[in-house]
């Protein structure tokens, strides 16, 4: 989808073949705006000029098959992967040139694919690492307890080394650690990957609760059905392009999406 045609209203469903020619006036409530983003690995163009936005208070899902460019997009947003062209605006500020440390200070946090916990640290120590930018000791302690309320299993094992935990428990810890920096925008990269059905239910339940608390969320997820059931809006990526966008409800019931990503 080219941004020259503008982003659709939630009641519209656009594809790459939609009419073009109108420019979009940026919405004042857009927390994240991505315009013409291109990312390359060597000579391979992994992301080919995509456009999307996430508005304050939204839960937006980015779905697509393996290799579509979803994770690369998140890495570009967080400064982990250099961009070839385009712009990324977060909170009205250009992201290009800012390090991940700076972005965390600005309230942008990411839970990476594969969790990325500190395996030789305890659960409690991992959570404190999530609050490394904060100086309010009492607030940090209160937020640790808040995470333990969300994930009681972590409280039971707070002195356990993170590397000895199951995949589902590590996912809980990675999400809890991200919450410790009090994010305004939370990026979640494949939070359900490799988890049991029961743990998947728990993770999506927590994602929904976090969104209800007012945290803006961009969710990258291969489980398209669950992701779209949670979201207000969605984008479909294929081979480095955004090919469809619309309300999550419309995408969930679109025959093309159902055939490609829901196995129907």
The secondary structure of 65-107, three-state, reads CCCCCHHHHHHHHCCCCCCCEEEEEECCEECCCCCHHHHHHCC
Confidence of residue 264 (pLDDT cuts 50, 70, 90): low
Residue 85 falls inside a structural domain: no
Give me the percent of the chain exceeding a pLDDT of 70: 89
Question: What's the domain count of the chain?
Answer: 1
- Contact by Cβ (8 Å): 39, 71: no
> Residue 43 has what pLDDT?
84
Mean pLDDT within 13-19: 46
Cβ neighbours of residue 98 closer than 8 Å, sequence gap 6 or more: 79, 106
Residue 240 falls inside a structural domain: yes
Residue 217 falls inside a structural domain: yes
Tell me the C-alpha distance between 102 and 37, whole Å. 21
Q: Which two tokens stand for residue 63?
A: 């779905």
Please state the φ and ψ torsions of residue 8, each to the nearest 5 degrees. -80, 155
Sign of CA dihedral 31, 35, 39, 44: positive
Bridge partner residues of 187 (DSSP): 110, 218
Domain residue limits at 104: 57-80+97-261
Record the pTM.
0.86
> Residue 2 has what pLDDT?
36
pLDDT at 14 over 80: no
> Residue 113 has what pLDDT?
85
pLDDT at 187 over 90: yes
- Contact by Cβ (8 Å): 244, 52: no
Q: Which two tokens stand for residue 164?
A: 């000895």
> Residue 7 has what pLDDT?
32
Tell me the C-alpha distance between 253 and 194, whole Å. 26
Residue 24 falls inside a structural domain: no
Of the candidates 181, 175, 149, the residue with the CA atom closest to the CA atom of residue 162: 175
CA atoms within 13 A on the CB side of 175: 30
Chain segment 60-87, per-residue pLDDT in tens: 999 999 899 999 999 999 999 999 999 9
Residue 151 falls inside a structural domain: yes
Residue 251 falls inside a structural domain: yes
CATH number of the domain within which 69 lies: 3.40.50.300
Tell me the C-alpha distance between 175 and 24, whole Å. 34
DSSP string, the chain: --GGG-PPPTT--EETTS---PPPPPPTTEEEEEEEEEEEETTEEEEEEEEEEEETT-EEEEEE-TTSSHHHHHHHHTTSS--SEEEEEETTEE-TT--HHHHHHTTEEEE-TT----TTSBHHHHHHHTTTT---HHHHHHHHHHHHHH-HHHHHTTTSBGGGS-HHHHHHHHHHHHHTT--SEEEEESTTTT--HHHHHHHHHHHHHHHHTT-EEEEE-S-HHHHHHH-SEEEEEETTEEEEEEEHHHHHH-HHHHHHHS--
> Residue 4 has what pLDDT?
34
Chain segment 217-255, per-residue pLDDT in tens: 999 998 999 999 999 999 999 999 999 999 999 999 999
Chain segment 21-60, per-residue pLDDT in tens: 333 444 458 999 999 999 998 889 999 999 999 999 999 9
Residue 183 falls inside a structural domain: yes
Mean pLDDT within 15-22: 37
Bridge partner residues of 108 (DSSP): 185
Residue 70 falls inside a structural domain: yes
- Which has more confidence, 179 or 20? 179
């Amino acid at each position: 989808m080219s941004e020259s045609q503008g982003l659709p209203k939630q009641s519209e469903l656009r594809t790459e073949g939609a009419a073009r020619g109108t420019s979009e006036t940026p919405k004042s409530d857009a927390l994240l705006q991505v315009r013409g983003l291109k990312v390359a690995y060597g000579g391979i163009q992994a992301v080919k000029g995509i456009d999307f936005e996430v508005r304050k208070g939204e839960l937006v899902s980015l779905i697509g098959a393996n290799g579509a460019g979803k994770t690369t997009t998140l890495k570009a947003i967080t400064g982990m992967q250099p961009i070839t062209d385009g712009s990324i605006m977060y909170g009205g500020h250009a992201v290009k040139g800012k390090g991940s440390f700076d972005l965390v200070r600005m309230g942008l946090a990411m839970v990476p694919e594969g969790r990325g916990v500190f395996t030789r640290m305890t659960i409690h120590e991992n959570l404190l690492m999530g609050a490394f930018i904060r100086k309010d000791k009492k607030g940090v302690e209160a937020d640790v307890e808040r995470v333990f309320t969300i994930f009681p299993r972590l409280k039971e094992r707070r002195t356990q080394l993170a590397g000895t935990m199951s995949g589902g428990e590590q996912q809980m810890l990675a999400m809890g650690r991200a919450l410790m920096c009090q994010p305004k925008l939370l990026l979640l990269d494949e939070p359900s990957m490799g988890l049991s059905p029961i743990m998947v239910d728990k993770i999506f339940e927590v994602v929904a609760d976090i969104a209800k608390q007012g945290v803006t969320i961009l969710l990258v997820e291969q489980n398209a059905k669950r992701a779209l059931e949670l979201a207000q809006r969605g984008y479909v990526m294929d081979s480095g392009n955004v090919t469809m966008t619309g309300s999550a409800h419309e995408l969930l019931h679109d025959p093309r999406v159902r055939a490609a990503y829901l196995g129907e």
